Amino acid sequence: MSDSIQHECGVSLLRLRKPLSYYAQRYGTGYYGYEKLSLLLEKQHNRGQDGAGIACLGLAVPPGRPFYQLEKSCSGQLPLAELLGHIGEEIESAGEVTAQSDALEHPFYGELYLGHLRYGTYGGRNLAACQPLVYDSAWRNRTILLAGNFNLTNTHQLFDQLVKQGHHPHSNQDSELLLMNLVHSLGQTAHSPDGYSHDEIASLIAETAQPWDGGFAICGIFGNGDAFAFRDAHGIRPMYYHVDDEVAVVASERVAIQTTFNLTAQEVPELPPGQILTILVNGDTRLSPCLPEAPVTRCVFERIYFSRGNDADIQRERRALGAALVPRVLQAIHEDYRNTVFSYIPNTALISYHGMLTRLSESGMGHMVRFAQIAVKDAKFRTFITDAKHRKDLFPHVYDVTYGVIRPGQDNLVIIDDSIVRGNTMRNAILPILDRLQPKKIVVVSSAPPIRYPDCYGIDMASFGDLIAFEALVSLLKKHDKLQLFRLCVELAREDLAKPDDQMKNRAKPLYEAFSDAELETEICRLLRPKDLKAELQVVFQSNASLRECCPNHTGDWYFTGDYPTPGGNRVVNRALVNYVENINTRAY
């Protein structure tokens, strides 16, 4: 993706189901659990580069010694690497683990591990914002370690509820509120020094999470050694698991588990939406219903961009997205194979590009398909210049181009991207450097439809002002003298914000419905065009219908359609619409 957007976090839970001595004897290392947890996080590092945290809990730790250990990092360019390096130094200095070593007698040597990678969509970049989060209690089974991938839309309601219950939240961040909700529910249960049953944990989570509105995939460990993992009933945030005689493991991405434990895709099923995996202190596991059933709307952006593309299903879907665009691409270049070069925006658009090339070859009736990597992203490009003017001058050089492939004034250049969100990088960096090659025409192809609506479930797209599709919409409203419709929708949004969430409607939808997809696409193209661009420019977007065909099991497409899966989504979109007007010069409206 050319635009840099922050998104979902990554989480991993690992329970060793055999005695610690078993792993030292079979695998030759007492740190089997820690090494596997580290690999699970490494294979999900794409999901968080603002912070990382690892917790380890030991089962048979005697009183007088800590029964868990926690380390976090949020500094530097690579917090996970820094975290693993620091823990590695602790482990090395502590000496060798033997088959007789007890849990937490050595650093991060225990039966339970909880890891988290953070992308900071909200909140500061500090250790307090990093997970796992901890609630400490003198009673082990009321201590909680919690980590997850979540964003809630109704934090104001949860905050008020906690205050009425007598709590004093330090902030209204959803991470703190979720933990306090769980602590409150736990405090209403009768205390027992023993662990919990499967039913007790499921019931506790069901009671706690029922009021939450949003997307969440959460893992937790109680201090006594019971553990759990569960998802929202819509399945918005992803979660996968595997259980065998040696381990019970949960992660945000299937391929992370596959790679870490050398498993097939069939051995790593999806944790069903609305269900909970419970792992008792004795190692027993159970999967059971937890939250009321709801329409499943798994986030489709996972398939387009966020999740790693080496997952078999994601690979197939992204190739299909590229292939589906070929008819419109051929129309844009008038089927001129001879004078067209096909390329992509590195690096995540590569799979869609492969799908596009395959379909082009199949459709070409013997025509040779010319392809090359034209745009080259300088992954190591860094600037430490603080002056804004000089940063602007250096910004276009994040990308470079391959010379000698495009024949000046003769060739078309088709370049595919995952999606176009803000358009800043495309307009200010990519298109200007592509134009240096002097192509006759540049066709920018997006494997996703135009992103019309903000997100509220974990992706940093909460403002209409950040979306080039909305910028194009406002421009069309002005051109066609439809600002009265804009004012009406804003007033309806204001009125809705005084209502309960389930009585609201998405008041931005009528604005988009006033124009065709072709009109919006043409206006986006006009706004993307740099002032001095010499080549002809056309932008081609995926249709919503094609997106559904390519990703049939991931229908969470609210970014494109405005169909939010939870009532709080309509509150977020209406608030974004009102904020857009209040935060700009409103005289034109």
Query: Average pLDDT, stretch 8-14?
Result: 89
Asked if pLDDT for residue 568 goes beyond 80, the answer is yes
Q: Which of 117-121, 229-233, 249-253, 497-501 has the lowest mean pLDDT?
A: 117-121
Q: Is residue 3 part of a domain?
A: no
Q: What pLDDT shows up at residue 109?
A: 92
Q: Are residues 309 and 456 in the same domain?
A: yes
Contacts of 574 (CB under 8 A, 6+ apart): 493, 494, 496, 497, 504, 506, 507, 508
Q: What pLDDT shows up at residue 394?
A: 56
Give tens-digit pLDDT for 108-146.
999 999 999 987 655 456 777 788 999 999 889 899 999
Query: Average pLDDT, stretch 80-99?
Result: 86
Q: Which of 161-170, 430-439, 462-471, 577-586 has the lowest mean pLDDT?
A: 577-586
Mean pLDDT of the chain: 90
Q: What pLDDT shows up at residue 398?
A: 72
Q: Is residue 254 part of a domain?
A: yes
Q: What pLDDT shows up at residue 383?
A: 44
**Short-list 277, 216, 273, CA closest to 248:** 277
Asked if pLDDT for residue 93 goes beyond 90, the answer is no
Q: Are residues 239 and 388 in the same domain?
A: no
Q: Are residues 315 and 243 in the same domain?
A: no
Expressed as residue numbers, the domain containing 415 is 303-588
Residue 364: both structure tokens together = 């070409």
| Residue 365 pLDDT grade (very low, low, confident, very high; cuts 50, 70, 90) | confident
Domain count, the chain: 2
Which of 296, 311, 344 is the endpoint of a domain? 296
Pairing label, strands 370-371, 340-344: parallel
Share of the chain above pLDDT 90, in %: 71
Share of the chain above pLDDT 70, in %: 92
Give the N- to C-terminal CA distance of the chain in Å, as an integer: 33
Q: What pLDDT shows up at residue 454?
A: 92
Q: Is residue 287 part of a domain?
A: yes
Asked if pLDDT for residue 458 goes beyond 80, the answer is no
Q: Is residue 241 part of a domain?
A: yes
Asked if pLDDT for residue 151 goes beyond 80, the answer is yes
Contacts of 81 (CB under 8 A, 6+ apart): none
Q: What pLDDT shows up at residue 432?
A: 95
Query: Average pLDDT, stretch 244-248?
Result: 97
Q: Are residues 418 and 539 in the same domain?
A: yes
Q: Which of 169-173, 219-223, 425-429, 485-489 has the lowest mean pLDDT?
A: 169-173
| Residue 589 pLDDT grade (very low, low, confident, very high; cuts 50, 70, 90) | very low
Angle formed at CA 318 by CA 315 and CA 322, multiple of 5 degrees: 135
Give tens-digit pLDDT for 287-300.
999 999 999 999 99
Q: Which of 146-155, 239-248, 290-299 has the lowest mean pLDDT?
A: 146-155
Q: Is residue 365 part of a domain?
A: yes
Give the separation between CA 387 and CA 281, rounded to whole angstroms.
56
Q: Are residues 485 and 563 in the same domain?
A: yes
Q: Are residues 227 and 313 in the same domain?
A: no
Q: Are residues 471 and 570 in the same domain?
A: yes
Asked if pLDDT for residue 536 goes beyond 50, the answer is yes
Q: Are residues 213 and 345 in the same domain?
A: no
Contacts of 140 (CB under 8 A, 6+ apart): 67, 222, 223, 224
**Short-list 367, 356, 536, 336, CA closest to 446:** 356
Which is higher by pLDDT, 80 or 493? 493
Asked if pLDDT for residue 187 goes beyond 90, the answer is no
Q: Which of 41-45, 156-160, 250-254, 392-396 has the lowest mean pLDDT?
A: 392-396
Which DSSP string corresponds to 257-269? HHHHHT--GGGSP
Cα atoms in the Cβ-side hemisphere of radius 13 Å centred on 243: 14
Q: Are residues 287 and 307 in the same domain?
A: no
Instruction: Please name the residue that has the structure tokens 């078999």.
Output: 312
Angle formed at CA 506 by CA 505 and CA 507, multiple of 5 degrees: 100
Query: Average pLDDT, stretch 562-575?
Result: 95
Which of 296, 328, 361 is the endpoint of a domain? 296
Give tens-digit pLDDT for 196-218.
999 999 999 999 999 999 999 99
Q: What pLDDT shows up at residue 105?
A: 86
Q: What pLDDT shows up at residue 379?
A: 58
Which DSSP string corresponds to 206-242? HHHHTT--EEEEEEEEETTS-EEEEE-TT--S--EEE
Q: Is residue 269 part of a domain?
A: yes
Q: Is residue 1 part of a domain?
A: no
Q: What pLDDT shows up at residue 277?
A: 98
**Short-list 432, 444, 443, CA closest to 400:** 432
Asked if pLDDT for residue 190 goes beyond 90, the answer is no
Q: Which residues pair with 414 in a beta bridge?
A: 342, 443
Q: Which ranges in 325-387 belong to alpha helices (H)?
A: 326-332, 350-363
Give the separation between CA 310 and CA 134, rounded to whole angstroms.
33
Q: What pLDDT shows up at residue 460?
A: 64
Residue 146: both structure tokens together = 């919690």
Which of 296, 320, 354 is the endpoint of a domain? 296
Q: Is residue 2 part of a domain?
A: no
Asked if pLDDT for residue 587 goes beyond 70, the answer is no
Residue 487: both structure tokens together = 């004012």
Q: Are residues 275 and 312 in the same domain?
A: no
Q: What pLDDT shows up at residue 585?
A: 45
Tell me the backbone φ, ψ of residue 199, rounded to 5 degrees.
-65, -40
Q: Are residues 473 and 362 in the same domain?
A: yes
Q: Which of 302-311, 484-493, 539-548 has the lowest mean pLDDT?
A: 302-311
Q: Are residues 315 and 266 in the same domain?
A: no
Asked if pLDDT for residue 48 goes beyond 80, the answer is no
CATH number (domain holding residue 201): 3.60.20.10
Query: Average pLDDT, stretch 41-65?
Result: 89
Which is higher by pLDDT, 385 or 96? 96
CATH number (domain holding residue 559): 3.40.50.2020
Q: What pLDDT shows up at residue 124?
A: 52
